Chain A
């Protein structure tokens, strides 16, 4: 459209056409284009309804491709147009917030464990579908049951949980004649000290306490491992009260890995979620906690450390070994126009054969949320998968030993526990002062979120 109008303008400038003729022809071109676009729009509608789908772009790219293909196959089968969008670790929540506030969320989206609780006001009640799917799959595992529903009303349909564990260099451990660690103190400390060689830039343990999902997960786990936690059984703040003694010991341990034992590399307090993956694959770490994406990346790249790595249960502490199993969920938005189609899509991709295809491409990342999926022989096909599965099965939920609540989710989202550790390591606070400060922030969040 641009070119004919420009030509007309040139003709007008050159006095080849009158001003009136220019206006008439321009109006004709513009009107014609508008009519054409309108017809095309109607034709597009005639091709079927359009469903807006947001998927999560994980580091396991093979899984992403398979899921996208499955959604496309469903769209072709049902004669539905699909408008895809991908959300990453970095922009997922921002996209949800912006779209919900603008009143324009997708019909269906893949959300992390925070989604069902955080976006509950904007999500459809999917209780029936969630229960139907769970009933034919042996029921949901306890952590998935907790995350997806509140007071019996499901806001999400659990899909998978990331497998993972302590990735450890079995060649280095064997070289020193050591056994695989079961607890952080003294096992991991001992192995790290004996296997590391700072002169060659090989460090015993790579675990950031910085504001990141990795830092959050580790800090939360060790509080539980030492018998403490952020919340009590009723869901009230307990960081600096009920569990003060246990939490102090746990935080002290975390700080000691950097300051006292010196088993962590320089700069670890500035790491984000990818830094430990990079450092491990560069051969600079003896062990690190990570999701299965690290194992997948080494396998996909035929990395020399793939064969030298063992993925074992995340180590524990004096009170046991705890990990948070944080499932991903399907969320159907109230503002979406195609609720039935969205439910049909969920049934399609959660079909056992399709999920199996997806799971096998994910190298342990597509962990089970249903009981029957945990019994799939796939989990015995690689010794490292066995460790990942056991980690998932013993998993608890954010807010444990109390219920999962919006306040518990916000404490994670605001990296309160990471900041607490950072205030000791970098800010120079004592563990007591840092715990007190963090407890105050947790109480404030609890107070604000209790208002609804």
Chain B
């Protein structure tokens, strides 16, 4: 049986008004304004981050050649990469490059911060000088190192052979087994340690001086003061800096691409360079994105674990 419209109208209006009251109670009186303010940024995030990311995941599951439409192949690209020896070496190289670099950067960064907190003359000047590698564009630094490491015309070999007479003959810094990876790691360390140093310096300056005075009164030597006051004092900063540097170094492209292009024979091939080579050399775009996304879950888990550890530390 049909219900007369006059009987329905007030009920609908009442329930709508009730909804509005309920929403106001839950979300606050200005919730409509809140949506208005949040919408632009939500749209931006969706269009500039979420959409490209989801599209990249889709493309990584396609056979996509330049100029041709993508053909969905499921997880074929990922499965193929898993058994690809060249890719496997790139994964191992990426970890060596990342953790080798980050480890050294942390140690040198701590030393830099300790030196700059001690009463040295012209401290501001030295701080500025030590920041130069971090400030200089990576491309410029890498090109300079390409010349420095050159086997025939490089300044490093010239110094070692002709000026210091340490070596009888020049060394192929970017072409000898082991040396190539060590050289690109060295450049990454050179470029990245000031970030560690300056961050640790900020952390060390925030530690109250009274703690050191009390420790000195209690008979703690400098090493003990460093271990029991300085290190715990900069622990959180250390975790953040290591976390950021791990992500940046893992995704570092410029240094290796300019110095070795991943060669010789794949000795220095890392994931970002391999992704680039697969995209623009092989021109297989689907597979290139699969290379780029392959270790994303591992990195995401690492970040989550570190972040959790950091939060726990803060609570303690």
Contact = CB atoms under 8 A, between A and B. Distances in A.
Interface stretch (A26-34, A124-132, A260-268): A260-268
A428 B283 contact: no
A426 B176 contact: yes
B67 A422 contact: no
Given A272-B261, A418-B263, A425-B264, A118 B150 contact: no
The 4 closest A-B pairs by CB, nearest first: A267-B151, A422-B265, A270-B174, A269-B175
Nearest to A93: B280
A323 interface: no
A392 to B, nearest CB: 26
Contacts of A427: 177, 265-267
Interface string A324-337: 00000000000000
Contacts of B152: 201, 203, 265-267, 275, 278-279, 282, 284
Interface string A437-452: 1001100110010011
Nearest to B71: A451
Interface centre among A100, A198, A209, A419 (most CB of B within 10 A): A419
Contacts of A284: 152-153
Nearest to B284: A448
B100 interface: no
Contacts of B264: 209-211, 269-270, 418, 422, 425-426
Contacts of A444: 80, 84
Given A211-B264, A266-B157, A268-B175, A97 B151 contact: no
Contact of A422 (B267, B282, B284): B267
Contacts of A448: 63, 284
B203 interface: no
Interface in A178-202: 198, 201
Nearest to A95: B280
The binding surface of chain A is classed by DSSP as helix
A451 B284 CA distance: 12
Nearest to B269: A419
Nearest to A91: B280
A219 to B, nearest CB: 12
Interface centre among B63, B157, B264, B277 (most CB of A within 10 A): B264
A219 B91 CA distance: 27
Interface residues of B, number: 43
Interface string A276-297: 0011001010000000000000
A428 B260 CA distance: 18
A420 B171 CA distance: 22
A414 B170 contact: no
A294 B272 CA distance: 33
29 contacts: A94-B280, A101-B67, A120-B67, A121-B66, A201-B170, A203-B152, A210-B261, A265-B151, A266-B171, A268-B151, A269-B264, A270-B260, A272-B261, A275-B150, A278-B152, A279-B152, A279-B153, A284-B153, A410-B282, A414-B282, A419-B86, A419-B263, A426-B176, A427-B265, A427-B266, A444-B84, A448-B63, A452-B65, A452-B68
B35 to A, nearest CB: 25
Contact of A421 (B84, B261, B265): B265
A423 interface: yes
Nearest to A428: B177
Nearest to A100: B67
Interface of B: 63, 65-68, 80, 84-86, 149-154, 157, 169-177, 180, 259-267, 277, 279-285
B282 to A, nearest CB: 5
A12 to B, nearest CB: 24
Contacts of A426: 175-177, 180, 264-265, 267
Contacts of A272: 261
Contacts of A209: 264
Contact of A414 (B67, B151, B267, B277): B277
B77 to A, nearest CB: 10
A159 to B, nearest CB: 22
Contacts of B66: 96-97, 100-101, 118-119, 121-122
Nearest to B80: A444
A211 B277 CA distance: 11
A401 B287 CA distance: 30
Contacts of B277: 414
A437 B172 contact: no
